[in-house]
Amino acid sequence: MPSKNPRSARGSSTAAEDYLERILELINSKGYARVVDIASALKISQASVTNMVQRLDAEGLLKYEKYRGLVLTAAGETVARKIAQRHRLLTDFLKLLGLDEKVIYHDVEGMEHHISPSTLRAIETLTAQLRRRPALRAQLGSCRHLIFDRAASDGGRFNAT
């Protein structure tokens, strides 16, 4: 039976990673993060946020004071920055492939938690090459319709056979 909070490729729960990512975004944009802000950003109840925030506090990833707000610890900020960097890299890569923004958002939200470090490094290398080599991007763009039209006809599943 699958667990309620599946683990990411890095061992933390995907939910914990989502919280840390949103908390960092809030702190960077507003200068602070409160339970009410996190609940709004994640579209979940304040009670659920409070439970997770207390768990992240117990794990040493943030400091939480009831009715006051929270701050990321150095360890929490490190994890949150890695998650945000993974998110940006995957988003950039899929944009270079010419995918639709909605597809990118949906796919990145799933991929960012389950991608292995070696696959992430490969995507990082390929993304750098695509940025440096416009001819390669153009070549990819010219065959893009073959890949994505076929995937669409397969119901969105990619099958290389």
**Confidence (pTM):** 0.76
pLDDT at position 161, please? 42
Tell me the CATH number for domain 14-78.
1.10.10.10
Q: Are 49 and 38 in contact (CB under 8 A)?
A: yes
Q: Is the pLDDT of residue 54 over 90?
A: yes
pLDDT at position 5, please? 47
Q: Is the pLDDT of residue 74 over 90?
A: yes
pLDDT at position 1, please? 37
Q: Which residue has the higher pLDDT, 13 or 29?
A: 29
What rounded mean pLDDT belongs to the chain?
A: 84
- Percent over 70 (pLDDT), the chain: 81
Residue pLDDT, tens place only, 113-142: 889 999 999 999 999 999 999 888 888 877
Lowest model confidence (mean pLDDT) among 34-43, 71-80, 130-139:
130-139
pLDDT at position 151, please? 53
pLDDT at position 147, please? 60
Sequence spans of domains, the chain? 14-78
